Every structure is written in structure tokens, then in C-alpha cells.
Structure 1
Amino acid sequence: MNEPSGDELVRTRTVTWDDPEKTAASAAERSGLEFIQALAAGEVPPPPITRLIDARLESVARGEVVFALEPAEFHYNPIGSMHGGIYATLLDSAAGCAVHTMLPAGAGYTSLDLNVRFLRAVRVTTGTLTCTGTVTHYGRRTALADARLEDGRGRLIATATSTCLLFDT
């Protein structure tokens, strides 16, 4: 591995997070919509993954959520653009949280699948990304959600569909 020369900028990043068990316990005490609204309002600490990728929950309504993210170098893959795992994490979070807003108190869900389609590369110059998750079906045992990742000019970056299994906790 090459050591940086005297004129290269060494980049560092420190991530801190709150106890995820406290956040999860807070979810059990509320309806899904109340819980996701509390996350967006900062009344409940965000899950560690949100802090890790520097995403933020921008808005919440029944069956729909919006996340935002500023692309940064720490999101990059080896070819100099945002790693597909970051796209997928945003899309999965938006789809899953949209489903979560539909849950009654005492119910839970887990993702059964996530199908992602990558359409454009993202770099730090792309600007703010928004990721909107929307529930398209909510049944007794499963829910379906779509997610769209767009840049600040409204260009579609990626899409996903997700199937979630619903259960009582």
C-alpha cells in the first residue's frame, strides 16, 4: 500500500451512534407511523446505519417517506463513484420505512427481497439525493413498496421494489 506523500490530503471520518436497542424498544411502544415520525423529528435516535452513511429522514406520511443524502467521497467505490451498496441501502431504507408507517403498534416486518435498478452514476458533484419510498400494497402477511432515488434536478438515479413480510412482535 502506498503511503501518502507530503502534499496528499489524508482523509478521516469518525462515526458515532446511539444504542440501537433503545431505538428498537421505542418502536415497540408506538404505531409504525408514530415511530417513524418520532425518528424524523429527532425524538428517537436514528439507527446506526443512518449515521454511518450520513442519510437523514426528511419527511414522513402514512405509506410514504423521504430520505436525503449528500454524496461524499466515503461513499465511493474503486472506480470513483458512489458504491451500489449505498444506493441499495437508501432504497431499502425508504421502502422499509414506508411499510413501517403502515404498521399498528406491536407489529413488525422484515424485507423478503429488494430488486434494484441502477440508472446513473453518482459523484460528489451530483448534489443532494432524495429517496422516496411508497407503499403500493399492504396485505395481511406481505407489503410491497417502491423506492425512487433522484438527484437535485429530479433525474432518476435508481429504483427498487421491495417485498416485506409482516408479523406480530
Structure 2
Amino acid sequence: MTRSRTVEWQDPSISAAVVGQESGLDFLRSMLSGRLPGPPIAATLGFTLEQVEFGHAVFALEPGEEHYNPIGSVHGGVYATLLDSAAGCAVQSVLPAGMGYTSIDLSVKFLRQINVDTGKVRAIGSVLNHGRRTALAQAELFDSEDRLLAHATSSCMLFPVSPASS
């Protein structure tokens, strides 16, 4: 039986235009409050930013069939996207205004299968170390019973950004 899903998102240039104008934590809090739109990837996969604090970010996803690979479980790329988002946003949360980041690498360890019966999962990212040019973060993916489903580490490059001109 065919299934379908409709996805809607807001113009990503709205958020991109304010990158660097405020601290990374304030930027993420603006997305969390709805003042700024979330990224299209979150709408596409159906995950949400649930919490952000200095050095810490939490994303959540309710797994569905649309996340499945051909063998009937959530695709590893979905795990990786959640973990990358949590680790990256944890890094972003420690950046002052005028600074940006990009991931250099992501190392993921898959520990348990996820399917629709797993229920809501949470990716919790935290900064392990940050300097002037790089940051190291980790993220852990948990089910509703706090069982560890996957773990990742990510190195990020930090760099100055110029606010977009109006």
C-alpha cells in the first residue's frame, strides 16, 4: 500500500541572515522559541530542537516508516543526522557573536536498532572541549527508557562570520 507525507518549511535564508549577529546560544534560543524558523532538514525528517543551554543541545524524533531502510528499521543516516545536529548545536551554543562553525568529522557507533515501536528518541549533545579554532563535542541517542541507542563524537572548526548585510 502506498503511503505519502507532506513536508512544509520556511525560507532558510531568514535564519541564515542573522547568523553571527548574536551569540550562538541566543540564535538557537530564537529557533527554539519560534522567533526564527528551524532548518528545512528538521522538517524533512520530522525532528525538533527541544532544549538548548550553554554547551548542551537536545533534539527529539518520533521514528516513523518514512525513516526506514530496506530491512525495516530506521536508517543509520537518520541516527547520524540527529547526532550531528545535537553535537553541532552544542558547539554553536558556546560561540560568541561573530563566530560560526562547521563539522570536520563525525564518528558514529550504532548500538541498538530503532523502529516505530521504539517511540520517541532524544539526541543529547554536549561540548567536551572548545578552543579558538576547534571544538570537540559528543552526542548520545536515547530511547524513552534511557537506553543508549547510538553515540557520536564530532570535531568542529570555528571561524569568524560576517553578519549578512540587509
The match for 2:83 among 87, 91, 95 is 91
Which residue of 1 is the match for residue 121 of structure 2? Answer: 129
Do residues 54 (structure 1) and 46 (structure 2) align? Answer: yes
Does structure 2 retain, via aligned residues, the 8 Å contact 1:72–1:124? yes
Do residues 143 (structure 1) and 135 (structure 2) align? Answer: yes
Q: What displacement does 1:26 show?
A: 2.2
Runs of 5+ consecutive residues of structure 1 not aligned to the other structure: 1-7
Q: Which amino acid aligns with 1:85?
A: G
Which residue of 2 is the match for residue 117 of structure 1? Answer: 109
What is the aligned-residue identity percentage? 56
Which residue of 2 is the match for residue 153 of structure 1? Answer: 145
Q: What displacement does 1:144 show?
A: 0.3
Task: Mark the structure with the bigger radius of gyration.
Answer: 1
TM-score, length-normalised on structure 2? Answer: 0.95
CA root-mean-square deviation? 0.7
Moved over 3 A (4+): none
TM-score, length-normalised on structure 1? Answer: 0.93
Q: What displacement does 1:19 show?
A: 1.0
Q: Secondary structure at the match of 1:27?
A: coil
The number of aligned residues is 161
Higher relative contact order (CA 8 A, sep 6+): 2
